[in-house]
Structure 1
């Protein structure tokens, strides 16, 4: 007759959290049967388990622990599941020289050896999820993520580890939301924060509520990627009615389309026989018989069942090694003599457990110094309501394999981790540019015709008296100004920085020189007539040639050009003009495309590194004062008997055109309006000027 040994089992069979005991308890009982069947394991002993339901509730679980401890016989070890329960039990168990072995507890907090001195687990720590997640973030170049979690210690410690690893990987945590029982506000907050890459950690019942709200907030599709826990049953999203979730199965499937899950491999990847003699396929067949051939997806804890099976084998092998250790040390005490104050058996049992290593149905079983177990992380993606394995992450060797042909996206490419702001360079519309350039070309041809007319008829007395040379210069100035229209509306999207800078400087020079030639020539003529009228008051007869020689008129025009050249040269040398971009408006949610791209309208313009207010002011002062003085002279002619030359009306036109410059600054953000206004101003001034000068001469 064999000596009876006892262990305690705390299984979450019911409750609102994880009720994985429904599959894990049959797996553990199956392992007990296999252990007791083996003559080479615990010879002379029969291993039994007294178990009860914790409902995945820390208070109830702790109560179960006390009943197991204080009701004989003594228990050599406690098996636990559900992190919240394991946390309370493992923290207190060492006071009774008890070890705790968890088959379903992933909380990273349980890795703290100072706090949980006698804790081991066959279920890997949830931090292994984070290593795989970080690797995926880096692979797809996501540097900004968001987090939503249920307020449980297992999830809080998991997220704290994720935040630490994300910081080391230069990944920003945009927002972290938590909830206790209702995720509505947390999901809405994620939406307000424009969360795109989202990690969610919560129990199965809360996952249903979260993704129902995700569906309502439209936080899925080609702009979002969700990462959640992978230890839910494959059909977990279909349990909407029994969990009182206000969404249909189809709506849940739509919201979950394309999401990723990470989970530790809980079954060996091949059919290599385990130490018990069973391979994975044989284990699953026997477990289904224990479960009365029910659908594994309808049985909570089915994915973790191999971990419970291997947990029993791990403690059995450790107890078997403890017998050997006690014998080698000459301690003639059987395992059945264990009591809660017997530190001799406990110490050897702990060392044996710490060194346990074997091949289980869940893969290689070996414990680290923290009591954790390393294993592969399995990555899956849901598509059309079905999970597909897309890769594995080797936590031990820090490498991974990913089947890219299986990974699918709701859009043409992986979503961006934030709103991608793309500059939309606004150019002058081609229709407007062609129209204005055509008008300018016609005006230039007309100006050239006027020039030819003036040259051919230069000996005609009426034309000779109006200074044809200055008229020719005025025509050239108009042609020069008209040529600026071609430069103002030029497509600069394909121009380099140097090319654009050259055009900026060229059009400024051309416009200033053209303006000076046109206005300066007319100023010279009016100044000459002004001198004539002034002399005529003093003398009865005066000849034009006696008042102002012709070379003085050209010298005055040259002076104007010299002043412009000096100003422009100093400007170009000290504060050269170059390309600058003006962002017209900030993007809004309505302007963001379905792929998460916001086009921000930009307008390029010529500007200086420093504000060129001084240059502008000086330039406008020179030209403006000259115009005003000339206009004053022309206005003065109304009181004289001499007929006012057409240059007077011409100058009024150029004064009107000069004041259009400040207007273009005010509308600089509207490229079409700016170009049209500038072009029309130049066309108006030049065409009216040519008409006023030459139409009377033609007549």
Structure 2
């Protein structure tokens, strides 16, 4: 163009070309500076529609962006709502792809993934498969198309389950092109298999009218003359499909110049197109006005231009059938009908699977809920546990005045049982998933489970350990005879512990409340390759749940450690009515072991039934075992008059190597015996005084008796105070 413009012998009036967008763009940006109208016959880049960059540019071929309307019409017709895109990173393909992505949402289309490549598309094609794409919109040059489809063949992305919609202006049987211009290693047979059944969208290259056009020939006559011109094999020429556009482009310029010449003759003074110069803006504007008004029937159909200089016209859908592309649909952009895509059915569309494929792998979400039988079974066991606890509670109330029960603090025992019942109740809430309660109520069930379990554990083990603490406090005190710990003090201890747990739960609820979360499991392939099963488990979680649960576990862990310490310290207090250290130690051991088993298993297992069964079983087992260890011995000893170990006099004494606790117990037993002896003596003296009736003598004998008592080393304290 540079040589032509600076040729001093002739002045150019208009520019025809170029064919490729990458050549047209720089020339069209420059030509208007010489007041030249430029017309391209096959440039499709959407960038050329920019009137600011290309103010005097027209084209006989529509831009790639207009084919998006055809693609959306196809997707709607076949019910495809999930698609993927793959394009080469140059403006010719990037711009229409971006426009497609922008318009997808308003057309009800979900973009699974949008991939782009500069040179090698292998990774991007693999990504399409990973994302489960089935309907793929492709925008790339012919050479890259061969690479794309070779990789698609190797990935198995061809056949009855896949649809490719690509650019429609490739050469005839482009997939059989030479390997040296496309870096792929597929055979021609493999390439033919890979591309079978693809669709293209393109401008309609030939008019549907049978009547002669402005050139005085019909479409059939044009094709005949063209074949004769190229020796009968037009498909061997690169870009032969655009020949009708080139023919009509020449006619467009000719008609424009003819109209301009007629108008220039009416100027005063008259002018001709031969008077045009590169500085003549008046004549350039006249040419531009005439080009905008172009309207004639060419061999490629009606020739008209939009405000942006783009070609108006019909578009077509073609499908690859039997090693060639055949027209299966025509798109009428100016039609007033809602459905502007007309299917010719001559020939009909050929589906390799006999029907249009699904737009993606159908993901069937299956809620993972606790099976009805398992829930009933676990609930039955939890109910049995509650009945057992209520039975122990009734027993504890009925026999609370029996010495053996009374010495074991029956009121504190009641707290242990209430805590156990709350733990049993938590098992019910843990099994109430979305299959049994309304979705909106499910989070309340989760919270109820957490509260019952947290408070129940604190109450049961707090009460148990408070009893042991009292025994430990009494038998390790230097002033054992004066150490008195009332039940209300134990209530306070349990209340403080429960309050701490309650405060943690309240803060958790206020700061970071539980919310319903859907967790999807691994895909499970079915016999139908188009359908995969995705297990969905609905659970309750919060953002910082691990820290809240960790706090509760730390508190409960410290409680268990404290209980284990007390059980160890009071292990030699051989008064079963007072001391449950052996059973508490066993309970702590079982609880810790089961906790270390349950927590990891519950976190690892994805199977809902298995996780619920294991957690529920261990909760039931630990709770029931603890209650039985504490209360079964009491039930067995209910009818014994002097159950073994209830009388302090039966304690071991005088054994070699006895501990401080044993020694204190032995001394306490001896002291009680001395007090009983002293009491008998006092009763005898009182009887003698009553018989003699002498008060003075009574006082003398009384003082003597007191001195005798002190001599025995006994105190005047009430023996019952211990």
Aligned to 1:413: 358
**In structure 1, distance between residues paired with 2:618 and 2:123:** 56
Aligned to 2:59: 121
Q: Deviation digits for residues 376-412 of structure 1, max 9, x if unmatched? A: 4434455786555456262899986346997979985
- Report if the CA contact (8 A) 2:468-2:570 is conserved: no
SS at match of 2:169: coil
SS at match of 1:378: strand
**In structure 2, distance between residues paired with 1:256 and 1:341:** 50
SS at match of 1:267: coil
Q: 2:331 aligned with 1:392, yes or no?
A: yes
Q: How does 1:42-57 map to 2 (within 5 A)?
A: none
Q: Give the alignment's TM-score, normalised by structure 2.
A: 0.64
**In structure 1, distance between residues paired with 2:197 and 2:418:** 68
Q: How does 1:300-339 map to 2 (within 5 A)?
A: 300-329=238-267
How far is the alpha carbon of 1:616 from its aligned partner?
7.2
Summarize the Cα distance change of 1:137–1:468 in structure 2 as closer, same or farther, 3 Å threshold.
same
**In structure 1, distance between residues paired with 2:476 and 2:13:** 126
How far is the alpha carbon of 1:231 from its aligned partner?
1.7
Aligned to 1:670: 604
Q: Deviation digits for residues 489-523 of structure 1, max 9, x if unmatched? A: 43346655652332233223333454355445545
Q: Deviation digits for residues 357-390 of structure 1, max 9, x if unmatched? A: 2122322213456544222443445578655545
How far is the alpha carbon of 1:356 from its aligned partner?
3.3
Q: 2:539 aligned with 1:604, yes or no?
A: yes
Q: Deviation digits for residues 436-482 of structure 1, max 9, x if unmatched? A: 55554554555566567777877877667656666566455434423
**In structure 2, distance between residues paired with 1:630 and 1:246:** 74
Aligned to 1:650: 583
What RMSD in Å do the two structures reach over aligned CA positions? 5.8
1:510 to 444, 452, 471: 452
Q: 2:142 aligned with 1:204, yes or no?
A: yes
How far is the alpha carbon of 1:143 from its aligned partner?
9.2
How far is the alpha carbon of 1:228 from its aligned partner?
2.5
Summarize the Cα distance change of 1:508–1:199 in structure 2 as closer, same or farther, 3 Å threshold.
closer
Gaps of 5+ in 2: 638-722
Q: How does 1:291-690 map to 2 (within 5 A)?
A: 300-329=238-267, 352-353=290-291, 355-368=293-306, 371-380=309-318, 382=320, 387=326, 389-390=328-329, 392=331, 394=333, 401-402=340-341, 413-415=358-360, 436-437=378-379, 439-444=381-386, 447=389, 474-475=416-417, 477-492=419-434, 495-496=437-438, 498-515=440-457, 518-519=460-461, 522-523=464-465, 526=468, 552-553=486-487, 555=488, 558-559=491-492, 562-563=495-496, 566-567=499-500, 570-571=503-504, 573-576=506-509, 578-580=513-515, 604-605=539-540, 607=542, 613=548, 617=551, 621=555, 632-640=565-573, 642=575, 647-656=580-589, 659=592, 669-670=603-604, 672-673=610-611, 676-677=614-615, 679-690=617-628
The answer to which structure, 1 or 2, has the higher relative contact order (CA under 8 A, 6+ apart) is 1
SS at match of 2:296: strand
**In structure 2, distance between residues paired with 1:194 and 1:640:** 71
**In structure 1, distance between residues paired with 2:201 and 2:99:** 18
- Report if the CA contact (8 A) 1:375-1:396 is conserved: no
Summarize the Cα distance change of 1:268–1:211 in structure 2 as closer, same or farther, 3 Å threshold.
same
Aligned to 1:263: 202
**In structure 2, distance between residues paired with 1:200 and 1:104:** 19
**In structure 1, distance between residues paired with 2:287 and 2:413:** 113
Aligned to 1:14: none
- Report if the CA contact (8 A) 1:664-1:674 is conserved: no
How many residues align structurally?
612
Aligned to 1:147: 87
- Report if the CA contact (8 A) 1:484-1:507 is conserved: yes
**In structure 1, distance between residues paired with 2:574 and 2:262:** 135
SS at match of 1:320: helix
Q: Give the alignment's TM-score, normalised by structure 1.
A: 0.65
- Report if the CA contact (8 A) 1:80-1:103 is conserved: yes
Q: Which has the greater radius of gyration? A: 2
Aligned to 1:230: 168
SS at match of 1:209: helix
Aligned to 1:20: none
Aligned to 1:51: none
**In structure 2, distance between residues paired with 1:333 and 1:685:** 109
SS at match of 1:394: coil
**In structure 2, distance between residues paired with 1:641 and 1:113:** 102
**In structure 2, distance between residues paired with 1:685 and 1:568:** 19
How far is the alpha carbon of 1:339 from its aligned partner?
9.4
- Report if the CA contact (8 A) 1:229-1:262 is conserved: yes
How far is the alpha carbon of 1:205 from its aligned partner?
4.0
How far is the alpha carbon of 1:624 from its aligned partner?
6.4
**In structure 2, distance between residues paired with 1:616 and 1:89:** 70
Summarize the Cα distance change of 1:168–1:601 in structure 2 as closer, same or farther, 3 Å threshold.
closer
SS at match of 2:87: strand
**In structure 1, distance between residues paired with 2:364 and 2:576:** 62
- Report if the CA contact (8 A) 1:647-1:692 is conserved: yes
Q: Deviation digits for residues 333-352 of structure 1, max 9, x if unmatched? A: 888x7898897998876765
Q: Deviation digits for residues 283-334 of structure 1, max 9, x if unmatched? A: 445555656665x766654532322332233233234334423443477888
Aligned to 2:640: none
- Report if the CA contact (8 A) 2:80-2:358 is conserved: no
SS at match of 1:263: strand
- Report if the CA contact (8 A) 1:148-1:176 is conserved: yes
SS at match of 2:194: helix
How far is the alpha carbon of 1:690 from its aligned partner?
0.8
Summarize the Cα distance change of 1:572–1:421 in structure 2 as closer, same or farther, 3 Å threshold.
farther
- Report if the CA contact (8 A) 1:381-1:387 is conserved: yes
Gaps of 5+ in 1: 1-61, 150-154
- Report if the CA contact (8 A) 1:393-1:401 is conserved: yes
**In structure 1, distance between residues paired with 2:524 and 2:398:** 66
Summarize the Cα distance change of 1:619–1:94 in structure 2 as closer, same or farther, 3 Å threshold.
closer
Aligned to 2:117: 177
**In structure 2, distance between residues paired with 1:130 and 1:333:** 45
- Report if the CA contact (8 A) 2:44-2:61 is conserved: yes
SS at match of 2:201: strand
Q: Deviation digits for residues 536-584 of structure 1, max 9, x if unmatched? A: 9977xx9xxx977xxx54x456545644664465455543274346798
**In structure 2, distance between residues paired with 1:293 and 1:317:** 30
Q: 2:37 aligned with 1:102, yes or no?
A: no
How far is the alpha carbon of 1:652 from its aligned partner?
1.5
How far is the alpha carbon of 1:487 from its aligned partner?
2.5
How far is the alpha carbon of 1:254 from its aligned partner?
4.3
**In structure 1, distance between residues paired with 2:420 and 2:429:** 15
How far is the alpha carbon of 1:230 from its aligned partner?
0.8
